[in-house]
Amino acid sequence: MIAHAATRILLGERLGRPPERLRFTRGRWGKPAVADAPGLHFSLSHSGELALLAVAPRPVGVDLELLGSGRDVERLSRRFFPGRERELVARGGRPAFARLWTRKEACVKASGGRLTEGLALPVAHPVGQATVYAPAPGGLAGPWRVADLPFLLPQPLPRERQQERQQEWEEEYAGSVALLGDGPFDVRWGVWYPGAPAGSGPKPPRQGVK
């Protein structure tokens, strides 16, 4: 509920509209879009205690996965992933699976398709940003530019604790964002607070981005 409320607030700020006035439409497979805002594309994903919202000028998808999700990752990879990716999961376990899975799902969300259409996408590139091409015609329409995401802490912490929590999140989560097309992009981060960020001074509590 908080993630969906934050989405309305942030998209409303971007469009200069009251959050409660936004109207949403859905594509064939459920991809949401803001009505009467063709130049604004967004994607939302949440897992565990975190949520990610991506906003972009072209179709975008974002995915977030908690590593301890309980999935049988080797079975899933053997059934759906290309051979190179099955090897990576066999060696790297859940972290490797989550990294590959979020890349695939981000591409699917950017295209507004079904997850089953994207499981065969070859996404075993090195960590960073790369272009992903569909393995065969007739499936999802690509290409996609995919970037792995780090994680920002939601509030200021003592330096020692900040580094510790940062490492914990990097070990617990994987996240990726994909934009339709092969043009590279830069990721600009913001952190949304349901109240005033810690250390922000004696201001009235309000939602905000820092």
Q: Is the pLDDT of residue 130 over 70?
A: yes
Whole-prediction pTM: 0.84
Q: Mean pLDDT highest for which of 3-7, 171-175, 190-194, 195-199? A: 3-7
Q: What integer is the mean pLDDT of 146-155?
A: 73
Q: How far is CA 18 from CA 10, 22, 119, in A?
A: 10, 7, 38
Q: Is the pLDDT of residue 202 over 70?
A: no
Per domain, the residue ranges of the chain are 27-32+40-188
Angle at 180 between CA 48 and CA 40, to 5 degrees: 75
pLDDT of residue 166: 58
Q: How do residues 93-118 score in pLDDT, each as one tens digit? A: 999 999 999 999 999 999 999 988 89
Q: How do residues 22-55 score in pLDDT, each as one tens digit? A: 999 998 888 999 999 989 999 999 998 889 999 9
Report which of residues 77 and 48 the model is more confident about.
Answer: 77
| Residue 119 to residue 104: CA distance in whole angstroms | 6
Name the token pair of 182.
């092969």
Strand partners, 34: 24
Q: Mean pLDDT highest for which of 101-110, 132-141, 190-199? A: 101-110
| Residue 170 to residue 162: CA distance in whole angstroms | 12
* Architecture of the domain whose range is 27-32+40-188: Alpha-Beta Complex (3.90)
Placement of tokens 């972290």 in the chain: 95
Report which of residues 175 and 71 the model is more confident about.
Answer: 175
